[in-house]
Amino acid sequence: MTKMFGTNGVRGVVNQDMNVQKALQIGKAIGAVTPGVTAIATDTRYTCDMLKMAVSAGLMSVGCDVIDLGSLPTPALQYYVRTHSVVGGVMITASHNPPQFNGIKVIANDGTEASPQQEEAIEAKYDEEIAPVSWKDTGHTSRYVGAADDYVDAIVSKLDVEAIREANLTVVLDCTNGAAFYTSPLLLRKLGVRAITLNGNPQGEFPGHPSEPTEDNLQDLIKMVKATGASLGIAHDGDADRCVFVDGEGNYVPGDKTLAILARSIVKENGGGIVVTPVATSSVIDETVSSVGGKVVRTAVGSPKVARRMIDDGGIFGGEENGGLIFADHQFCRDGGMAIGRMLESIIKIGPLKEQVDSLVPFYTVKKKLVCPDDLKESVLNFLDENTANIRKDTTDGLKLIFTNGWVLARASGTEPIFRVYAESRDKAVAEELASKYEAMVDEYLSSF
Ligand code: MG
CATH code for the domain in which residue 406 is found? 3.30.310.50
Angstrom CA distances, 186 to 150, 165, 192, 264, 270, stand at 11, 14, 10, 27, 28
178 C-alpha to ligand 1 centroid (Å): 10
157 C-alpha to ligand 1 centroid (Å): 24
pLDDT score of 415: 73
Residues 187 and 241 in one domain: yes
Residues 179 and 99 in one domain: no
1 C-alpha to ligand 1 centroid (Å): 27
Residues 31 and 129 in one domain: yes
CA distance 425 to 447: 28
Q: What angle do CA 48, 53, 58 make, to 5 degrees?
A: 130
Rg (CA), the chain: 22
Residue 424 inside a domain? The answer is yes
Domain end, chosen from 100, 115, 147, is at 147
Domain end, chosen from 147, 177, 201, is at 147
Q: What angle do CA 278, 283, 287 make, to 5 degrees?
A: 120
Helix ranges (H only) for 100-159 are 116-126, 147-158
C-beta separation of 10 from 18 below 8 A: yes
73 C-alpha to ligand 1 centroid (Å): 9
Residues 81 and 185 in one domain: no
Q: In the predicted model, is pLDDT for residue 323 greater than 80?
A: yes
pLDDT score of 413: 85
Residue 345 inside a domain? The answer is no
C-beta separation of 277 from 301 below 8 A: no
The residue with greater pLDDT, 371 or 6, is 371
431 C-alpha to ligand 1 centroid (Å): 29
Q: Which amino acid is at 269?
A: E
393 C-alpha to ligand 1 centroid (Å): 31
Give the count of domains, the chain.
4
Q: In the predicted model, is pLDDT for residue 94 greater than 70?
A: yes
Residues 375 and 395 in one domain: yes
410 C-alpha to ligand 1 centroid (Å): 24
The residue with greater pLDDT, 1 or 276, is 276
Angstrom CA distances, 299 to 109, 136, 278, 389, 415, stand at 23, 47, 4, 23, 18
Mean pLDDT of the 53-57 span: 98
Residues 142 and 65 in one domain: yes
User: Which candidate, 394, 392, 393, 438, places its Cα nearest to that of 419?
Assistant: 438
Residue 20 inside a domain? The answer is yes
Residue 240 inside a domain? The answer is yes
C-beta separation of 282 from 365 below 8 A: yes
C-beta separation of 126 from 29 below 8 A: yes
Active site residues: 95
Q: For residue 241, what is the DSSP state?
A: S
- Write out the residue range of the structural domain in which residue 377 sits: 364-446
Q: In the predicted model, is pLDDT for residue 8 greater than 90?
A: no
Domain end, chosen from 252, 272, 307, is at 252
CA distance 364 to 170: 32
CA distance 252 to 236: 13
Burial of 319: CB neighbours in 10 Å, binned 0-12, 13-18, 19+: buried
Residue 4 inside a domain? The answer is no
Residues 291 and 327 in one domain: yes
Residues 197 and 270 in one domain: no
Q: Which amino acid is at 387?
A: N
Q: What angle do CA 134, 140, 144 make, to 5 degrees?
A: 165
11 C-alpha to ligand 1 centroid (Å): 12
Convert the pLDDT of each residue in 348-396 to its tens digit. 999 999 999 999 999 999 999 999 998 999 999 999 999 999 999 999 9
Residue 15 inside a domain? The answer is yes
74 C-alpha to ligand 1 centroid (Å): 7
CA distance 340 to 318: 15
Average pLDDT of every residue of the chain = 96
Q: In the predicted model, is pLDDT for residue 400 greater than 80?
A: yes
Percentage of the chain modeled with pLDDT above 90: 95
3-state secondary structure of 56: helix
Residues 126 and 17 in one domain: yes
- The enclosing domain of 177 has a CATH number of 3.40.120.10
37 C-alpha to ligand 1 centroid (Å): 24
Mean pLDDT of the 186-205 span: 97
C-beta separation of 404 from 411 below 8 A: no
pLDDT score of 1: 46
23 C-alpha to ligand 1 centroid (Å): 20
Q: In the predicted model, is pLDDT for residue 134 greater than 90?
A: yes
CA distance 212 to 238: 7
Residues 411 and 304 in one domain: no
Residues 142 and 14 in one domain: yes
Residues 381 and 330 in one domain: no
pLDDT score of 2: 52
CA distance 80 to 102: 22
pLDDT score of 410: 96
Residue 70 inside a domain? The answer is yes
Mean pLDDT of the 75-99 span: 97
210 C-alpha to ligand 1 centroid (Å): 13
User: Which candidate, 160, 199, 164, places its Cα nearest to that of 180?
Assistant: 199
Q: What is the β-pairing status of strands 294-299 and 331-334?
A: unpaired
Q: What angle do CA 132, 134, 138 make, to 5 degrees?
A: 75
Residue 1 inside a domain? The answer is no
Phi, psi of 112 (to 5 degrees): -85, 165
User: Which candidate, 397, 338, 333, 325, places its Cα nearest to that of 114?
Assistant: 333
